[in-house]
Structure 1
């Protein structure tokens, strides 16, 4: 088994031409056609089990590669197993997890899809580190479906991880780049299914022997991946579901920063938090209009809202394509893996401590905070209930991030009951919040005097909702804690 440390960057067709003509990387050491065939069982047992298997052909050489694809699809580093073959028939033995973990045998594998690319390859010396750069141009083919590929992979062969980002910045100064978070295998499996319109948060898996800092990296990568998958949809066409999920991803990442604030005391952590707040705010403006549009029928006010949404989505695209956002994406990922927070003396004891104890403390503190804020929702004002809603959301995110650390049957049963009650509470607090915020959004859009404005208001009995939310919150506090035995 080897560990692959790499950055994957997505390029436009124009960017590829510019990069190849720039001489930035020098002359390629090779330009080869690559054909890769991906195999799995008919019910896709390998992929569902967290692995991909391909056989790549270069000239007359065949290499089988098994890669870890889950449950956390790593952006920066992942495990892989390579085996030379004499042909395009998979060989599965106990040297790979397909046999040792999933009990998959040779004869059960069938072809799923293939990739056909031309690969330019360079060896680059960046500040003493050896980096292999590979530019792939071609397509993924699954039956009668096809997807174009234009991606640049920077793989660290020897040296310091930060040099990958140094090289990425040199490239970004020449052509626009975006971080790739989906492997060729994932995109191939996606081709086999109907195209998704949005990507919800995937389960986060944390090993119990992780250090606290490593657990934060896993969580932050998962949030960034969700954002990038949905951003890729949003920049191609207006899509309310994808925009909502991109905003959710940023909100989850902001919560992760807050939950781990005891180890994030460096100046860069604080700056990145402000950048997250800025970007989430831009997406929030468009999201507010999407929510209003969902409430109205085919009336004149809908036309006004659609015009406002077009303007809001234009602002979203301006932000996503801005130099500020692009710099933020590079800064965030470099800081996450190479930042000062990973070496501060004052946080070393906590940062290098056991994640389970840290998780228990986080969940206890979030529960206590929600209990304190929600003691008397009936007597509280709107602002206080809004703060209770935010505390509930943060508690839920913490629970979703950390639940895999508590995997006994008892913990699973408790978690299911906990999350059902939490979802009910969030729905009730969310509807109350919509009742309060709708007039502000309507005012900002200058629609107060519109004859159809009533259709934009949230219907419901606020007193009954407050009582129901209080009941759900009290029920949540009575639930046994899934993170404690």
Structure 2
């Protein structure tokens, strides 16, 4: 990675909100959403490939996740081999971008957060940072390769077709075409209710869930949040939806410690070679520290989860 202090760092671009109208059909709603998603992805591709601003990779990852969330909704009601292919290509690109993002978080957030171990005499940064740098550089090289690939170009073209009003290029049955004219508000309410139920089901017995199970709750909440952000203007523009979205985001964020521990544990296994005694000590100290922090945040996560469960939905 280049030294950011010696370069002009390009700006990244965050996603604009999706503005839907009450009388939108599913077809028109998809056009509006796809335009926002494509603009978000296209604006951040050169930033991610440039590599000097870590926010570029993060925003590309978010854009791909949001597209996959939209594709997941559509694939349930309107099966399409082309849409399946688009979701598969987006997933492949997301894996490459996700690896680079994980190393960015590890180096820029996780390691600084382990400073209490340094004060206790554990040389975490001195041992792990030199090992992490080449792994992150390799991940960024794969990002540039992936985002310059035919898969990325194909996906952008597909998203452009969605944004131009063509859902996919397969022949569709009259019933399928008619279904695309369903009111978007009905489509949204049905899927938001399904995702909400799924998240609540994942979180049942929250206090007894294991860290991997809580991680699954977080993933369910993430899908629910993306769908809510797509369709919120259909049901609750302005302040009406505020409490639900705030508590949904707070519950998701509170579960972040589980994700951090799982991701960090996976990254620690990437440090090759036969570890010496000091390295084993460092890895053991990091693992123990993160697990203790995970336990310490469990009550806060449970509290945020209970608040979310009690919050009325905005689409009823």
Q: Is the helix fraction higher in 1 or 2?
A: 2
Q: Is 1:323 the equivalent of 2:150? A: yes
Match of 1:296 in 2: 111
Match of 2:184 in 1: 355
Q: Is 1:372 the equivalent of 2:226? A: no
Report the alpha carbon displacement of residue 447 of structure 1 after superposing the two structures with TM: 8.0
Contact 1:424 1:472 in 2 (8 A): yes
TM-score (norm 2): 0.82
- Give the greater-gyration-radius structure (CA): 1
Contact 2:10 2:47 in 1 (8 A): no
What are the ranges of 5 or more consecutive residues in structure 1 without an aligned counterpart?
1-193
Output aligned runs, 1:268-279, within 5 Å: 268-279=82-93
Match of 1:441 in 2: 267
Match of 1:479 in 2: 311
Q: CA RMSD of the aligned region, Å? A: 2.5
Match of 2:298 in 1: 466
What is the aligned length? 288
Q: Compared with structure 1, are the counterparts of its residues 219 and 331 closer, same or farther at alpha carbon in structure 2 (3 Å cutoff)?
A: closer
TM-score (norm 1): 0.55
Higher RCO (CA < 8 A, seq sep 6+): 2
For 2:216, what is the secondary structure of its paired residue?
Answer: helix
Contact 1:216 1:260 in 2 (8 A): no
Supply the distance in 1 between the matched residues of 2:273 and 2:103 (Cα, whole angstroms): 12
For 1:209, what is the secondary structure of its paired residue?
Answer: coil
Supply the distance in 2 between the matched residues of 1:215 and 1:448 (Cα, whole angstroms): 55
Decide which moves more: 208-217 or 269-278: 208-217
Supply the distance in 2 between the matched residues of 1:334 and 1:239 (Cα, whole angstroms): 29
Q: Is 1:258 the equivalent of 2:72? A: yes
**What are the superposed Cα offsets for residues 461-483 of structure 1, whole Å, 9 maximum, x if unpaired?**
33343333232222112112222
Supply the distance in 2 between the matched residues of 1:255 and 1:341 (Cα, whole angstroms): 21
Report the alpha carbon displacement of residue 225 of structure 1 after superposing the two structures with TM: 1.4
Q: Is 1:340 the equivalent of 2:166? A: no
Output aligned runs, 1:58-73, within 5 Å: none
Q: Is the strand fraction higher in 1 or 2?
A: 1
**Which of 25, 48, 52 pairs up with 1:211?**
25
Supply the distance in 2 between the matched residues of 1:334 and 1:386 (Cα, whole angstroms): 34
Supply the distance in 1 between the matched residues of 2:273 and 2:70 (Cα, whole angstroms): 37
Match of 1:310 in 2: 137
**What are the superposed Cα offsets for residues 150-179 of structure 1, whole Å, 9 maximum, x if unpaired?**
xxxxxxxxxxxxxxxxxxxxxxxxxxxxxx
Decide which moves more: 312-321 or 211-220: 211-220
Q: Compared with structure 1, are the counterparts of its residues 306 and 365 closer, same or farther at alpha carbon in structure 2 (3 Å cutoff)?
A: same
Supply the distance in 2 between the matched residues of 1:195 and 1:407 (Cα, whole angstroms): 38
